[in-house]
Amino acid sequence: MVRYVRLLQLFFRTELQYELEYRLNLVLEIIQTVVVTGTSVAAILVLFSYTTILNGWDLSAMLVLLGCFYLVQGFGELVLQPSFEKFMEHVRLGTLDFALLKPASAQFLVTVRNFQVVQLAQMGLGAIVVAVGLSRIPSIGLAEAIGFPIALLCGFGLIYATFAFWFVRVDNLMALYWSFMDAGRFPVDVYPGWLRVTLSSAVPIGVAVTVPAQVIAGRLDPLGLGLLMLGTIAAFVLASWFWRLGLRSYTGASA
């Protein structure tokens, strides 16, 4: 375990050095992230200037949800997207063997080898938006305070499992995936039935973003949180199974 933590630190430092080689570009990307996040918050404020409730969601809950969206999206773009894009390139070029021959878990190396360090800014801004939303909620119970980070971590896990399934198996669906991802900035229950099902299953961004906000708003009972945790574990198991299946297709051997 310690070895993998050290590897993770090494990978992150290496990617950070790459980013700092082009510091102006890094600054411009951070500014772009601030502008995008700011306009999203402004859109929510404009929307709630005409109403106080949107399908049961008030302004405080919507801010928490929007912050969760940027936390989850930032996590995916921080490590999963660049790592899986590089993985697909290795498969096309036949250079995946270099990762498979290393004395470490190939699945770990594929998942966390590459970072887009600038996405830490998106996650930081998302955390700020969440904090602002939480500060507007009159009172937060102990169950909500404990359940919120658990639900958020489950959201991260679901996004990882989605990347493992979509991008390892079908590499030409990335544009479609990000289109569904953008829909996650609003509560999943405001969409029509077919889209709600899609955002809760094939691309579970609706669950990953909406459920943590539901927890903090007291709209999810312990049973629902338990089902979310079981679903996340099942998604991890399924992702590992698809990894082994894909690896057998690539090499003819099991992981």
pLDDT the model gives residue 40: 92
The values of phi and psi at residue 167, to 5°, are -85, -25
Whether 204 shows a pLDDT value over 80: the answer reads no
The winner for highest mean pLDDT among 34-38, 94-98, 165-169 is 34-38
Q: For all residues of the chain together, what is the average pLDDT?
A: 82
pLDDT the model gives residue 175: 64
Alpha-carbon distances of 15 from 80, 164, 235, rounded to whole Å: 14, 22, 28
Whether 251 shows a pLDDT value over 80: the answer reads no
15-24, 68-77, 93-102, 130-139: segment of lowest average pLDDT:
93-102
Is pTM beyond 0.75 here? Answer: yes
What confidence tier does 121 reach under pLDDT thresholds 50, 70, 90?
Answer: very high
Q: For the residues 41-48, what does the mean pLDDT come to?
A: 92
CA-based torsion, 5, 9, 10, 14: positive or negative: positive
Residues 75-112 as b/e (b if ≥16 CB within 10 A, e otherwise) read bbbbbbbbbbebbeebbeeeebeebeeeeeebbebbbb
- 134 or 200: which leads in pLDDT: 134
Q: For the residues 69-73, what does the mean pLDDT come to?
A: 90
Q: 160, 111 in Cβ contact below 8 A?
A: yes
pLDDT the model gives residue 166: 57
Non-local CB neighbours of 95 within 8 Å, separated by 6+ positions: 89
- 148 or 85: which leads in pLDDT: 148
What confidence tier does 91 reach under pLDDT thresholds 50, 70, 90?
Answer: confident
Give the tens place of pLDDT for each residue, 158-194. 888 777 665 555 555 566 666 677 777 778 777 777 7
Q: For the residues 205-224, what does the mean pLDDT come to?
A: 82
91-95, 193-197, 201-205, 207-211: segment of lowest average pLDDT:
201-205
Whether 37 shows a pLDDT value over 90: the answer reads yes
pLDDT the model gives residue 231: 85
Alpha-carbon distances of 47 from 43, 50, 53, 82, 184, rounded to whole Å: 6, 6, 10, 34, 17
What confidence tier does 195 reach under pLDDT thresholds 50, 70, 90?
Answer: confident
pLDDT the model gives residue 202: 63
